[in-house]
Amino acid sequence: MIIAVSDVHLGYEKSNREDFIRFLDTCNSADIHDLVLLGDILDFWRRNNAKVVTDEIHAEIVDKLGNLDVKHIHYVVGNHDYYLLRLSDRYEGNYPFTVSKFLRLEDRGSKFYFIHGYELEVLANLEPLSIETYEHFSEKMCFTKDVLGWFLSHLWELLERRGGIWRQTSMMKKPPHERTDIDKIYNLAISKGRYLLLGMKPNEKLVYGHTHRPFINKERTVANTGSWVAELSKKSQNWYLMIADGQMELKAFDEKAFP
């Protein structure tokens, strides 16, 4: 069984962090082969990195993640926690889970491709930015709460103004529910031609987060894992994806009915 979850945004005041603790507790007792943390679990854009992980509740969550009784834990970075990729490279071999930009897994012959989803937003809405430029921006935004980060962020803004892409980068900083053109991301995600832009294989099913809007398309080839933040209605919060026997099922967290 594969469980995928994204967009908890620990460090953001609207994070449903107590609910996520209960989710991890139930994961610890379930028969999970792969747990996929699909990005933006931590939010380094809104708070100092050290403060995010040393907050008492966040520290408890990080400790639980490092000691979960699951066979494999995978961390696919999002835009708000992109710096973890550099940290994992720096301390290679000493992280309790793998950290990457994308992940491929297989379950009962079905193949799945996991990304956070910022790639879709760049491709659909932020032209002429490249994915690589956006990733550079995302890493720098992980330091906006210190002096160096402030300087780099403002220098970046000046360069963006000169390049005529200020509107796009202003939109990048907004929470997903406040951004325009979300439908364009959805349309790209469900397109049969998506694999050419995302590095997928044509027979792989796509799983992503980022937009905070949980769904599975009717063909059951694309799924969004939703979020754990109190921004939209209650029915849009605290979702995860379960993959069993090669099939995807999107579920709202209920510890009595887990998984």
Domains with residue ranges and CATH for the chain: 2-252 (3.60.21.10)
Among 4-18, 139-153, 237-251, the least confident range: 139-153
- Spatial distance between the Cα atoms of 88 and 93, rounded to a whole number of angstroms: 8
pLDDT for residue 147: 45
Q: Does residue 41 or residue 166 have the better pLDDT? A: 41
**pTM for this prediction:** 0.88
Tens digit of each residue's pLDDT (9 = 90 or more) over 175-211: 665 655 789 999 999 999 999 999 999 999 999 999 9
Q: What CA–CA distance (Å, rounded) separates 208 from 193?
A: 16
Cα–Cα distances in angstroms (integers) from residue 173 to residues 64, 89, 167, in the given order? 30, 26, 10
Do the Cβ atoms of 41 and 10 come closer than 8 Å?
yes
CA 232 to chain centre: 17
